[in-house]
């Protein structure tokens, strides 16, 4: 890389997928709570970090926390036989309203933002989407298929394309309509240079194995193919390497002082898939016999009936991610980029998994903030260690406070705001080592207070099993008024093997 400037107009820019954008609880909502935004708050007061807004209807395609809180207002503290029809009607009507809004029936999707955002993340993007998808592409796919309203199509059909349009071409202008994410990065660096670029991408090249519970390896036809044309759930490492090299090459000659690239966490750690041993034992090796949907309880799981991955599948997927990370580190060294060890820190935080990591994933000032906040002080044990984990969020039914979880949000794949704060801390450590100056510490009080699932969890989650059963109703439960498994639709949103909703 060649540095031609003494100063750079754009202090921090981020590009990539849902992790960069700040997706959680099934939708993109508060982009100001993404890890790049948390980092930007720590930089000097003159650092500008422009963000798109998705706060309308509490986000797109769905905000499960807001949905559950609305249910709680309608029903009280539980979903039961007596109020189930009312609950189903509320969910269907709410989702229909959200779908109508984001599909454009209630408003023209338009913003007066006439300059490019500093956060260029778009959820659902795999590596090649960074140079293949633009506003023209998205508009074609939005217009190609008419919006459907039925119990089998409760989420916005074109949510990712709508999101991409609003990020890549915020004013829907002719100037940016053919710009891809890479093109926008080029325009930002031509407009005064970029001091620090975060390239957070690659998760969706493998996450489809977890969301589909199926391993379908990429073929040559999947290379350089946009989202709707891919047929795989997992990119072969050699294909991952080719696409990553194309992306890094496109960025390597630009007027960017530092480029930060993260390693990828194991997709077997997030609680979107639940590890099950049929004999009820705990895994000594760190791997379970089976991995099923998180709404299927251990005693209900039947490997004949329920989709699943096996122990060998999980080991294979972890090995593939290890190969991805070797590729990331090797190419980062080659191109002069800086590797951020996100995967290692997530591994260290994982309960019951991969023992032997000696790094501390929780900074002292984060623990101090937990103790300082009266809503979270109980989350630090007598030894000063935080009682949070990578489990799915669970409440103690007697106290109504969280009993486990706190790192991953309700979709089981994406971090909570606390999780994003911890990721921001990992980046900050790497950035400081490489000369990036921060004027302020990470505002952990802000991060913790804005994770309402932890500070004020919905009472409906007291009986998590019952709540998840309700949200995961299958096609046979038509009386509930929404006939396709809502949770299934949420997790499959991130499959790299797309399918039209039926």
pLDDT along the chain (502 residues), means of 10: 71 97 95 97 85 90 93 85 82 86 62 83 96 94 67 70 93 92 97 96 95 95 89 96 98 94 96 88 83 89 93 97 98 98 92 58 95 96 91 89 93 96 97 95 97 94 84 51 64 59 38
Cα 54 to its chain centre, rounded Å, is: 15
Strands 290-293 and 402-404: unpaired
Q: How far apart are CA 149 and CA 419, in angstroms?
A: 35
In a 3-state reduction of DSSP, which class is residue 386?
strand
Position 131 scores a pLDDT of 97
SS (H, E, C) 315-381: HHHHHHHHHHHHHHHHHHHHHCCEEECHHHHHHHHCCCCCCCCCCCCCCHHHHHHHHHCCCCHHHEC
Whether the pTM exceeds 0.85: the reply is yes
Position 329 scores a pLDDT of 98
Q: Provide CB contacts within 8 A for 399, sequence distance 6+.
A: none
Q: How far apart are CA 261 and CA 199, in angstroms?
A: 5
Please say whether the beta carbons of 273 and 213 come within 8 A.
Answer: yes
Position 358 scores a pLDDT of 59
∠ CA 357-361-364, rounded to 5°: 130
Q: How far apart are CA 154 and CA 158, in angstroms?
A: 12
Domain boundaries, the chain: 10-266+320-376+409-492
Please say whether the beta carbons of 35 and 6 come within 8 A.
Answer: no
Position 67 scores a pLDDT of 92
Position 470 scores a pLDDT of 81
Q: How far apart are CA 381 and CA 389, in angstroms?
A: 13
């Amino acid at each position: 890389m060649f540095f031609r400037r003494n100063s750079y107009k754009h202090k921090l820019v981020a590009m990539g997928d849902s992790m960069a954008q700040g997706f959680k609880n099934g939708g993109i909502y508060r982009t100001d709570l993404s890890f790049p935004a948390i980092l930007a708050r720590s930089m000097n007061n003159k650092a500008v970090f422009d963000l798109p807004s998705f706060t309308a209807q509490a986000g797109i395609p769905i905000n499960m926390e807001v949905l559950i809180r609305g249910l709680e207002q309608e029903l009280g503290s539980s979903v039961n036989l007596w109020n189930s029809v009312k609950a189903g009607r509320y969910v269907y009507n709410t989702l229909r309203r959200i779908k109508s809004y984001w599909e454009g029936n209630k408003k023209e999707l338009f913003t007066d933002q006439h300059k490019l955002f500093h956060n260029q993340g778009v959820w659902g993007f795999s590596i090649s989407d960074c140079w293949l998808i633009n506003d023209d592409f998205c508009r074609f796919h939005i217009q190609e298929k008419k919006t459907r309203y039925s119990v089998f199509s409760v989420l916005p059909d074109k949510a990712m394309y709508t999101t991409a349009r609003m990020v890549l071409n915020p004013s829907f202008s002719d100037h940016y309509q053919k710009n891809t994410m890479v093109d926008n990065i080029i325009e930002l660096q031509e407009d005064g240079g970029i001091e620090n670029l975060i390239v957070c991408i690659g998760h969706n090249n493998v996450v489809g194995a977890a969301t589909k519970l199926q391993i379908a390896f990429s073929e040559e036809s999947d290379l350089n193919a946009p989202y709707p044309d891919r047929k795989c759930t997992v990119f072969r490492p050699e294909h991952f390497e080719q696409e990553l090299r194309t992306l890094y090459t496109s960025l390597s000659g630009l007027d960017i002082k530092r480029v930060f690239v993260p390693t990828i966490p194991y997709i077997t750690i997030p609680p979107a898939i639940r590890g099950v041993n049929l004999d009820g034992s705990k895994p000594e090796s760190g791997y379970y016999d089976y991995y099923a949907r998180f709404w299927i309880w251990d005693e209900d799981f039947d490997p004949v009936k329920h989709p699943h991955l096996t122990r060998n599948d999980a080991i294979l997927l972890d090995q593939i991610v290890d190969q991805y990370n070797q590729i990331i580190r090797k190419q980062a060294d080659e191109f002069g980029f800086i590797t951020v060890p996100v995967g290692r820190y997530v591994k260290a935080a994982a309960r019951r998994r991969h023992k032997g990591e000696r790094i501390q994933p929780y900074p002292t000032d984060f623990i101090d903030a937990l103790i300082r906040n009266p809503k979270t002080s109980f989350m630090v044990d007598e030894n000063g260690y935080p009682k949070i984990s990578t489990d799915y969020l669970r409440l103690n039914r007697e106290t109504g406070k969280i009993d486990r979880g706190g790192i991953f949000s309700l979709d089981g794949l994406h971090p909570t705001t606390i999780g994003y704060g911890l990721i921001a801390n990992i980046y900050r450590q790497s950035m400081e080592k490489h000369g990036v100056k921060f004027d302020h510490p990470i505002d952990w009080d802000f991060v913790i207070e804005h994770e309402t699932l932890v500070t004020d969890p919905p009472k409906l989650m007291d009986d998590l099993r019952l709540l998840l059963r309700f949200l995961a109703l299958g096609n046979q439960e038509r009386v509930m008024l929404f006939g396709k498994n809502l949770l299934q639709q949420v997790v499959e949103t991130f499959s790299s093997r797309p399918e039209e909703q039926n």
